[in-house]
Amino acid sequence: MKLIALPAFTDNYIWMLHDGHQAIVVDPGDAAPVAAALDTQGLALAAILVTHHHPDHVGGVSALRPRLLGEVYGPAREAIPQPFVPLADGDAVSVLGLRFQVIDVPGHTAGHIAYFLPSSGAGEAPVLFCGDTLFSGGCGRLFEGTPAQMHQSLGRLAALPGDARVCCAHEYTESNLKFANAVEPANAALARYTVACRALRADGLPTLPSTIAQERAINPFMRCDAPDVITAARSRGVADRSGPAVLGALREWKNSFR
């Protein structure tokens, strides 16, 4: 299976998996890049996977339906373009011989889900389509959920295999790493990763996918138990050292960080 990031809007990625004949797309906020990729590579559209209801993730679904051979799949607790197959934690989606595991990851939105693919072929690393819950070096804004929900959601993703490829829906990495370095300036792994990501962007290349192991090492929102991260959160006035409290303080800080 080939994994491709299709750029959309100013900073979105629509992820595509294909076998040379049929494709699965994730969060098609814009139909045009998907249609162009299908036409250029001679692919049929087998299925659409949706992580949450925001327009930049579902805006192209209706326009792509005439090309769709299978189903649209999406979160059971959110309103996305009908018809779709509703999914919740523990469900699975089988398409093109692949079996995606569904994980509830509320926080950014109330019913956000992620899709985890343990294997896309012999010797290929697992794949995680996490929408706007997890970004490289960051996490989504808490539009509908709570810090406790996001902390639990990121904990579930952190428990996935370290080599899992993290397919986020936005190219936010450089700005996230600027913030991460403010939180944890002595993190050597973060310093190395920042240099590598800057080089990729300078060459016009995506920083994604990341990996779960990478995010465990550099992402402050996945490191709420790290001493330096706790210290940074407490400098923002938080007395509680619990994971949700630390994450909440970091998220509030990030919302106004420049």
Q: Which of the residues are catalytic?
A: 52, 54, 56-57, 108, 132, 170
CA 114/CA 73 separation, integer angstroms:
11
* CB atoms inside a 10 Å sphere around CB 205: 11
Q: How far apart are the first and last CA of the chain?
A: 39
Main-chain dihedrals φ then ψ at residue 69, nearest 5 degrees: -85, -30
Among the listed residues 166, 181, 150, 170, the one whose alpha carbon sits nearest the alpha carbon of residue 246: 150
Dist. CA 184–CA 231, nearest whole Å: 9
Distance CA 97, CA 117 (A): 11
Listed in sequence order, the DSSP H helices in 15-169 are 31-41, 55-58, 61-64, 147-158
Q: What is the 3-state composition of the chain as percent helix, strand, coil, each rounded to the nearest 5?
A: 35, 25, 40
Q: How far apart are CA 33 and CA 22, in angstroms?
A: 16
Specify whether the CB–CB gap between 173 and 214 falls below 8 A.
Answer: no
What is the bridge-based pairing of β-strands 210-211 and 165-168? antiparallel
